[in-house]
């Protein structure tokens, strides 16, 4: 402190520039003192921000199976119930009369674990634990919630390679698909919530009218309590963390039911989240995981404690979830299937966008709800587009990034495995029917991998020309299949694009952006990218969802956060000491005169809402006259 005072009184700091500095030296010290005080305040503020907002470091053990050199029991044609016929992978302590779930790597067939499936009673207890923990969590501040997400984001970025390998091991996808579809999108979600989530949820002032000029109206977005998310297997990290992040930031607890196909990875991903919550000083019970077969899911969807359900999956299952939720009128957001078209307008530079279309069709081997399933191209450019796809698809390599080659390196592959072989026969039949109807086919069948004979692979496929009446043009494929559909006029292309029961996403490509926009506005869907693919999901400020059989409701963006809250309208007096609502005598019970009461009411309505100032003035005179009688 003595040194600081000496510095502040140093002649150089206390000397004022100018000829007559001696006469002003007594007040010159104000400037350095002010600077030092301001700097001190800045340091205190920065320390406060660092203490309350900086990420909290934490560690979590990496699973051994994330190592490509890891070895395990080899399963032949693995299924979720492989443990039934294979004593080698049965649980060490089997519980009688209970079901188990076999987890396996679909790209290699290696056994990952055998998990006890939850029954109805266990699901109920998990919901109750979440409800109890939410009583405390709902009182946390936005600053505390942001810190949890910021800590999680730092951990994710720092450990992205391990996270990607975990996702690859459980789904058979490639590292690049994991980086783009799992990590990039999740970081985008986190960034948006950290920067803009509070703005979407803090109390919002609404406008009033002349009659209520002395009132102030607000909408408060309050947590619902315990919400649920039932999510698909294709992006196990993102599909789990995305609804959890939204639920936690809006003050809710959440019960997550993942697909039975990704129990192994989801267990680890939620373990990371629980460790983060504990490191930040919060009860990890606000997030509960349910692992069960569909037969037990009603314990979640029909629970009176669940106040909202987010479902991501197939149309068939989504309808069952929506019906089950009616028992307690639980609101549901449904993100179901898609048959997304890419409308390629005449004159489009095909070579310019070919890579984008390849990514849109074959990312995650087509197991992508907003993947491009139909490429609509003008007749004049159909042959050129077929040539581009046929050449590129012929060079695509499929395989596993979680298996070391004999030379000791990982193979470079563009496509990974399919989650299972359940739908292979159905896909092959659709392709055969199209071929019988004079469509050419490249690929179109199960791929027997020479090094991974126990993995599930489907050949990257091109089918065309495809007619809108073919079954393959109507049904969601969820597979690495490009359908090339020629058209004559733009109006015909729009009709083809809108010709399915789905309406999730779409894209429009063309040399004139204004023309693309005109087409985009005529498409029956929830989201459209112009001269791009699916970027509406990278921008998490946008609502995500579809129409028709692709579901209803939205997640992501302000709409997604607010859907997890109760929007409570609160109205108060603007100047309570000056003016408050009173009942005029002419309207007070018991009414003295029906005529006077009616004249007052009708005159007031004409004054407030009459057409023209004369009507308003006459109404005011009538109301005043009736009130005086």
Say if residue 108's pLDDT is above 50: yes
- In the structure encoding, which two tokens stand for residue 594, read together? 């029906």
Say if residue 17's pLDDT is above 50: no
Say if residue 47's pLDDT is above 70: no
DSSP assignment letter at 535: T
Q: What pLDDT shows up at residue 411? A: 80
Which tens digits make up the pLDDT trace of 206-264?
999 999 999 999 999 999 999 999 999 999 999 999 999 999 999 999 999 999 999 99
- Listing DSSP states for 106-118 in one string gives TTT-BEEEEEEPP
Q: What pLDDT shows up at residue 405? A: 72
- Give me the residues paired with residue 463 across strands: 441, 483
The candidate with the shortest Cα–Cα distance to 460, out of 475, 444, 441, is 444
Dihedrals φ, ψ of 17, to 5°?
-65, 140
- In the structure encoding, which two tokens stand for residue 432, read together? 């055969």
- In the structure encoding, which two tokens stand for residue 275, read together? 């460790």
Q: Taking the mean position of all CA atoms in its chain, how far away is CA 359?
A: 20
The catalytic residue among 22, 71, 77, 335 is: 335
Which tens digits make up the pLDDT trace of 276-315?
999 999 999 999 999 999 999 999 999 999 999 999 999 9
d(CA 235, CA 249): 21
Q: How far is CA 312 from CA 321, 379, 382, 555, in A?
A: 10, 36, 34, 10
Q: ∠ CA 421-424-426 to the nearest 5 degrees?
A: 135
- Confidence band for 5, pLDDT divided at 50, 70 and 90: low
Q: What pLDDT shows up at residue 19? A: 43
The candidate with the shortest Cα–Cα distance to 312, out of 371, 232, 255, is 232
| Residue 441 DSSP SS3 | strand
Burial of 567 (0-12, 13-18, 19+ CB in 10 A): exposed
d(CA 515, CA 257): 43
Out of 288-297, 396-405, 519-528, 600-609, pick the least confident: 396-405
| Size of the chain, expressed as the number of residues it contains | 629
- Confidence band for 18, pLDDT divided at 50, 70 and 90: very low
Say if residue 139's pLDDT is above 80: yes
Q: ∠ CA 403-405-410 to the nearest 5 degrees?
A: 65
Helix axes 142-158, 263-279, angle to 10 degrees: 130
Pick the CATH number of 340-539 from 3.40.50.300, 1.10.10.60, 3.40.50.620, 3.40.309.10: 3.40.309.10
Say if residue 407's pLDDT is above 90: no
- In the structure encoding, which two tokens stand for residue 6, read together? 């000496």
Q: How far is CA 284 from CA 163, 171, 242, 623, in A?
A: 20, 26, 17, 61
Which tens digits make up the pLDDT trace of 522-581?
999 999 999 999 999 999 999 999 999 999 999 999 999 999 999 999 999 999 999 999
- Based on the residue annotation, tell me whether 476 is a catalytic residue of this protein: no
CB under 8 Å to 269, separation ≥6 — which residues?
A: 163, 166, 236, 237, 240, 241
Helices then strands (H, E): number in the chain? 22, 20
Q: What pLDDT shows up at residue 285? A: 98
User: Does 429 or 411 have the greater pLDDT score?
Assistant: 429
User: Could you tell me if 265 and 348 are in contact, meaning their C-beta atoms sit under 8 angstroms apart?
Assistant: no
Peptide bond preceding 590: is omega within 30 degrees of 0, i.e. cis? Answer: yes
Out of 45-59, 360-374, 376-390, 402-416, pick the least confident: 45-59
Say if residue 101's pLDDT is above 70: yes
The class that CATH gives domain 120-336+562-567 is alpha beta
Say if residue 456's pLDDT is above 80: yes
- Pairing, β 565-573 against β 215-223: antiparallel
User: Could you tell me if 255 and 228 are in contact, meaning their C-beta atoms sit under 8 angstroms apart?
Assistant: yes
Q: Taking the mean position of all CA atoms in its chain, how far away is CA 78?
A: 30
- Confidence band for 410, pLDDT divided at 50, 70 and 90: confident
Q: What pLDDT shows up at residue 91? A: 87
Helix axes 379-394, 350-362, angle to 10 degrees: 60
Q: What pLDDT shows up at residue 92? A: 81
- Confidence band for 179, pLDDT divided at 50, 70 and 90: very high
Burial readout 300-315 (b: 16 or more C-beta within 10 A, e: otherwise): bbebebbbbbbbbbeb
Domain boundaries, the chain: 28-57, 120-336+562-567, 340-539, 582-628
Q: Residue for token digits 């680890």?
A: 268
Q: Taking the mean position of all CA atoms in its chain, how far away is CA 297?
A: 22
Residues 394-403, mean pLDDT to the nearest whole number: 94
d(CA 553, CA 542): 13
Average pLDDT of the chain to the nearest whole number = 93
Other Cβ atoms within 10 Å of 215 Cβ, number: 16
């Amino acid at each position: 402190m003595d040194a600081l005072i000496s510095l502040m009184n140093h002649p150089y700091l206390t000397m004022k520039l100018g000829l007559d500095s001696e006469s002003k030296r007594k007040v010159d010290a104000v400037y350095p003192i002010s600077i030092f005080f301001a700097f001190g305040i800045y340091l205190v503020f920065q320390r406060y921000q660092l203490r309350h907002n900086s990420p909290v470091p934490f560690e979590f053990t990496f699973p051994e199976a994330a190592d490509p050199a890891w070895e395990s029991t080899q399963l032949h044609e693995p299924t979720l119930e492989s443990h039934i016929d294979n004593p080698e992978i049965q649980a060490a302590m089997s519980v009688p009369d209970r079901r188990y779930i076999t987890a396996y790597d679909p790209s290699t067939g290696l056994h990952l674990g055998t998990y006890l499936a939850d029954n109805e009673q266990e699901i109920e207890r998990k919901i109750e634990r979440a409800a109890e923990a939410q009583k405390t969590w709902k009182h946390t501040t936005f600053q505390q919630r942001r810190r949890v997400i910021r800590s999680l984001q730092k951990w994710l970025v720092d450990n992205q390679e391990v996270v990607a390998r975990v996702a690859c091991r459980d789904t058979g996808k490639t590292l690049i698909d994991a980086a783009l579809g799992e990590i990039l999108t999740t970081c985008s979600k986190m960034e948006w919530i950290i920067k803009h989530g509070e703005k979407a949820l803090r109390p919002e002032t609404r406008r009033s009218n002349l009659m209520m000029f002395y009132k102030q109206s607000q909408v408060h977005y309050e947590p619902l309590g315990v919400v649920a998310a039932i999510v698909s297997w294709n992006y196990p990290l993102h599909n789990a963390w995305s609804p959890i992040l939204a639920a936690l930031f809006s003050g809710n607890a959440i019960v997550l039911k993942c697909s039975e196909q990704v129990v192994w990875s989801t267990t680890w991903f939620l373990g990371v989240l629980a460790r983060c919550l504990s490191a930040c000083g919060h009860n990890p019970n606000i997030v509960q995981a349910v692992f069960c077969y569909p037969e037990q899911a009603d314990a979640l969807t029909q629970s009176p404690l669940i106040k909202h359900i987010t479902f991501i999956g197939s149309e068939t299952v989504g309808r069952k979830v929506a019906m089950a939720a009616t028992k307690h009128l639980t609101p549901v957001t449904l993100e179901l299937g898609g048959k997304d078209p890419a409308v390629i307008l005449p004159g489009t530079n095909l070579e310019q966008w070919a890579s984008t279309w390849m990514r849109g069709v074959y990312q995650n081997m087509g197991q992508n709800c907003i993947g491009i399933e139909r490429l609509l191209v003008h007749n004049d450019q159909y042959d050129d587009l077929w040539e581009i796809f046929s050449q590129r698809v012929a060079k695509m390599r499929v395989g596993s990034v979680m298996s070391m080659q004999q030379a000791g390196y990982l193979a470079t592959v563009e496509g990974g495995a399919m989650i299972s072989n359940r739908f292979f026969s159905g896909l092959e039949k659709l392709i055969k029917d199209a071929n019988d109807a004079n469509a050419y086919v490249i690929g179109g069948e199960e791929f027997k991998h020479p090094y991974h004979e126990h993995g599930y692979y489907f050949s990257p496929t091109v089918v065309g020309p495809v007619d809108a009446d073919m079954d393959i043009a109507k049904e969601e494929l969820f597979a690495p299949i490009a359908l090339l559909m020629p058209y004559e006029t733009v109006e015909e292309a729009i009709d083809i694009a809108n010709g399915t029961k789905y309406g999730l996403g779409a894209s429009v490509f063309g040399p004139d952006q204004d023309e693309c926009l005109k087409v985009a506005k005529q498409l029956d869907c929830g989201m459209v990218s112009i001269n791009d693919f699916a970027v509406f999901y990278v921008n998490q400020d946008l609502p995500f969802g579809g129409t028709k059989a692709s579901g209803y409701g939205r997640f992501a963006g302000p709409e997604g956060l607010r859907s997890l809250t109760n929007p409570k309208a609160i109205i108060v007096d603007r100047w309570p000491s000056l003016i408050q609502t009173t009942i005029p005598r002419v309207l007070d019970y018991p009414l003295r005169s029906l005529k006077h009461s009616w004249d007052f009411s009708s005159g007031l309505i004409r004054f407030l809402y009459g057409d023209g100032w004369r009507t308003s003035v006459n109404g005011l005179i009538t109301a005043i006259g009736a009130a005086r009688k």
